[in-house]
Amino acid sequence: MQTVNIKINGKELSVPASYTVLEAARLANIDIPTLCYLKGVNQIGACRMCVVEIKGARSLQAACVYPVSEGMEVSTNSALVRESRKTTLQLILSNHDKKCLTCVRNRNCELQTLSDELGIGDIPFEGEVSDARCEIDNMSPSIVRDNNKCVLCRRCISVCKNVQTVSVIDAKERGFKTNIGCAFDKSLGEVACVNCGQCIAVCPVGALYEKDTTEKVWQAIEDTAKHVVVQTAPAVRVALGEEFGMPIGSRVTGKMVAALRRMGFDRVFDTDTAADLTIMEEGTEVIERITQGGKLPVITSCSPGWVKFCEHNYPEFLDNLSTAKSPHEMFGALIKSYYADKADIDPKNIVVVSVMPCTAKKFEAERPELSNGGNQDVDMVITTRELARMIKQAGVDFVNLPDEAFDNPFGGASGAGVIFGATGGVMEAALRTVAEVLSGKSLDDYEYKVVRGTDDIKRAEVDVAGRTIKAAVAHGLGNARKLLDAVKAGKESYDFIEIMACPGGCVTGGGQPIVDAKKQMDINVKAERAKAIYAEDKSLPIRKSHENPVIKKLYDEFLEKPGSHKAHRLLHTHYTERELY
């Protein structure tokens, strides 16, 4: 690796020649403030918060885009630099909606943090349109946009266009009238937005946030006529602790269960159990298509953001999608049928609340296809962030809670169900079961590490009972587009494909705790949360979906067998081609 010698604040450094000044400073533990910059997403030098003095340069330069060179001398903290940053921040604040105490990002806002660090005591400028209010866009079932809080950092544009390749938002107008929005001033709910929420995850302020459902959940809990059941997705347990000051990747499964009980839910169930059920249904589908000459490749359907992306962009692949509902929707259907019968409760009096790492699940829960007998499978979806807010509202001391177990009759899940939360997890979970069903014997080597990790696209050929299964895994919709385009062009062929809408999979879904840009320079959030997922898998006594006794009992008592008529009626769905605006 080629290096260059530079000086930052008089400190001599040898750094990779490919680095920017910002990266070099970070390597030396020298802090340079940023606002528009986000590693791997947005490096455009637009906000001018990261300006530095370069010896010999005629003006201040943006450290996030300025490359290092041999002999360069940099000052990050001169009087000129400090004054420039402070003035820039005051100008940004001059037209910002400063109702911080009522903002969803209060105390987790990069603009707020910068104002504190730079010692902003007053704002001498008044924005030209400071009295004008932008209309809040809340027509989407998942995402709310409040341009009154927007700082024009363009991170949301970059992640939507360059990472997800959805491209439904961009900068409009020019100069002081510049704003972020959809073409023809349409709402996010009127365009081909897939509700993935990655725009929320990258926003440094409160300009984007999930549509809040917490008050409806509280109302349901308080309604004595309702039996309120909550289920939690696998990725929630490895992120929720961050909202209470715990390190990234902390596993808090038992504390999460304890908190939900103290909030007043009647039953606390694990969506991982339904993930095991998904494997039984989806795995059976994979086996049947491979052995009986069905439509290949089979493509996973667990991620609602991916499903909607497919409906808009790749309708020709809709027949390739597994018809299996996503795990939480399967669980909702079971709770309002099997569980309702066992507990002798009218399904109309059962409220199913899903705690998800995903904003697209809010949209998914409203799909008319995901209902039975006039009841939606899932009534309400809250994100990991919303759950954290509710726990705080309830005055629960989360960090010091004891570990508690999920309720029966769905108390047990396998490790295969847990790993659904990480990219490659659905594929590995399916292979663990498909391999044993096809071979007719229990296998000791059932960890398919070849599909793990955060590479953009993972390709593998797996020997299963003497048969080679060609598999691929893509996470992030930009990577999904590359993979599907290759399949469409006949350049690549597969038997089984896993696609997750969010980069890293559910662990870094649009509803997970937001990690600021500074931390993301040093920590691979995707990897740390995934590490916790695989650690939980390893700790469980049962690690294959088909060995889960809860699942066996479900089929024995209710569903008959995987792929049965009853299973199809309750646990499978269909998809709809949508216009691409």
Which residue carries 């692949």 as its tokens? 317
Query: Would you give the DSSP letter of residue 69?
Result: -
Catalytic residue among 73, 222, 369, 461: 369
Burial of 190 (0-12, 13-18, 19+ CB in 10 A): middle
Annotation says 506 is catalytic: yes
Distance CA 318, CA 329 (A): 19
Choosing from 39, 149, 325, 361, the catalytic residue is 361
369 is annotated as an active-site residue = yes
Under 8 Å between Cβ of 324 and 278: yes
Omega prior to 247 cis, within 30 of 0: no
Q: Cα Rg for the chain, rounded, in angstroms? A: 25
Active-site residue (options: 110, 210, 242, 364): 364
518: left (phi over 0), alpha (psi -120 to 50) or beta: alpha
Residue of 115, 322, 326, 371 with catalytic role: 322
Amino acid at site 228: V
Indicate which residue of 53, 110, 210, 285 is catalytic. 285
Set 109, 150, 156, 302: catalytic member:
302
Helix (H) or strand (E) holding 378: none
Alpha carbons 505 and 191: distance in angstroms, whole number: 24
Supply φ then ψ for residue 212, to 5 degrees: -75, 130
110, 281, 282, 498: the catalytic one is 282
Is 1 strand, coil or helix? coil
| Closest to 230 (Cα-Cα) out of 188, 258, 252, 193 | 258
**Residue 285 is a catalytic residue:** yes
Is residue 70 among the annotated active site residues? Answer: no
Q: What does the H/E/C string look like for 279-346? A: HHHHHHHHHHHHHHCCCCCEECCCCHHHHHHHHHHCHHHHHHECCECCHHHHHHHHHHHHHHHHHCCC
Catalytic residue among 506, 526, 536, 544: 506
Q: Which residues have CB under 8 Å from 542's CB, separation 6+?
A: 412, 414, 415, 548, 549
Retrieve residue 349's tokens: 């009096």
Three-state SS for 490? coil
SS3 for 434-486 is: HHHHHHCCCCCCCCCHHHCCCCCEEEEEEEECCEEEEEEEEECHHHHHHHHHH
Write a three-state SS string for 247-294. Answer: CCCCCCHHHHHHHHHHHCCCEEEEHHHHHHHHHHHHHHHHHHHHHHCC
**Beta strand extents in 175-257 (DSSP E only):** 179-181, 208-210, 227-232
173 assigned to active site: no
Active site residue 100: no
By annotation, the residues acting in catalysis are: 282, 285, 302, 322, 361, 364, 369, 506
